[in-house]
DNA sequence: ATGGTTGCTTAGCAA
């Protein structure tokens, strides 16, 4: 099974590239983030024509997540499963065959110490609670998405430039570390221990041209799934050309 | 300290 995660930064702005990429990469499952549309405006018909079912949790203007799959998904759930009343659409999960797939868009946090930063940390704790409440580390779970954090400085092209950024913040790294400690493996890291590969480049300051990137998009697999992982790559090509997203897709392959 | 760009929405916010 080939699964990918991609922050498309608006599904409407990226629709053509998305369809072209699906045709080229042919993943079985694709987790999307930053749809920036309400459910009704999501191009579900076009994607169904392309061979993909869609589980969508949309929102006007901001956020929005989805899971596309060749097989029909079941048990679709939207939002974090707790008492929190979160107006931001940042999580959706579905069962595809016998695998739990979660598409997550972790808050950016803007600036360390800000209100949005506090929301980011709180959201990550809630995500940990969501996993503990609903799953066991022995289940077949794939948690994919834009985590808005590079877990190690070797995943940052110019660490000195980003040392004060929310994308490299140690408290955030520790919060994601606790999610991993529950029983999840960063599968890209397993295949690329040296770093130096990135999934996001700022539109500003010629970020991509200068390769001033960070690896902030991740595929986390529970151990039973991680054992089956045979490949993990970042499709850097997709960041090139006309009207790219600022993120490239991250792709992993699991034995059946 | 701020800038630069993109997208949604239409001047300003979020990233």
Which nt has its C1' nearest the CA of A202? Answer: B5
- Distance CA(A149)–CA(A8), nearest Å, equals 17
pLDDT at A32: 98
* Residue A126: alpha-carbon gap to chain centroid: 17
Rounded to a whole number of angstroms, the CA Rg of chain A reads: 17
Helix (H, G, I), strand (E, B) or coil at A194: coil
Q: Smallest Cα–C1' distance to nucleotide B15: which residue has it?
A: A108
Active site residue A146: yes
Distance A214 CA to B2 C1' (A): 22
Whether pTM > 0.95 for this model: the answer is: yes
CATH at residue A9: 3.60.10.10
- The pLDDT tens digits for A207-254 are 999 999 999 999 999 999 999 999 999 999 999 999 999 999 999 999
Exposed/middle/buried for residue A122 (C-beta within 10 Å: 0-12, 13-18, 19+): middle
Phi, psi of A86 (to 5 degrees): -95, 115
Active site residue A119: no
Contact A231, A252 (CB under 8 A): yes
Structural domain range at position A129:
2-254
- Distance CA(A157)–CA(A172), nearest Å, equals 19
How many structural domains comprise chain A?
A: 1
């Amino acid at each position: 099974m080939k699964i990918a995660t991609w922050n498309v930064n608006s599904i409407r702005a990226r629709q053509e590239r998305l369809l072209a990429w699906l045709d080229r990469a042919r993943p079985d499952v694709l987790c999307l983030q930053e749809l920036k549309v309400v459910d009704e405006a999501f191009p579900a018909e076009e994607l169904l024509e392309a061979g993909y079912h869609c589980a969508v949790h949309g929102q006007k203007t901001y956020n929005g997540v989805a899971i596309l799959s060749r097989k029909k998904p079941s048990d679709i759930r939207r939002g974090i499963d707790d008492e929190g009343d979160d107006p931001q659409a940042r999580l959706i999960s579905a069962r595809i065959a016998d695998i739990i797939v979660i598409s997550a868009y972790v808050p950016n946090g803007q600036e360390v110490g800000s209100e949005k930063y506090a929301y980011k940390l709180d959201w990550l704790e809630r995500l940990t609670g969501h996993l503990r409440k609903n799953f066991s580390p022995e289940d077949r779970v794939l948690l994919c998405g834009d985590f808005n954090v590079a877990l190690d400085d070797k995943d940052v092209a110019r660490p000195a430039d980003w040392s004060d950024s929310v994308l490299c913040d140690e408290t955030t790294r520790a919060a994601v570390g606790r999610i991993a400690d529950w029983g999840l493996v960063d599968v890209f890291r397993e295949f690329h221990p040296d770093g130096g590969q990135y999934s996001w480049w700022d539109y500003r300051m010629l970020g991509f041209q200068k390769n001033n990137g960070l690896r902030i998009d991740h595929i986390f697999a529970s151990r039973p799934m991680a054992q089956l992982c045979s490949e993990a790559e970042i499709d850097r090509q997709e960041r090139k050309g006309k009207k790219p997203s600022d993120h490239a897709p991250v792709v992993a392959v699991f034995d059946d």
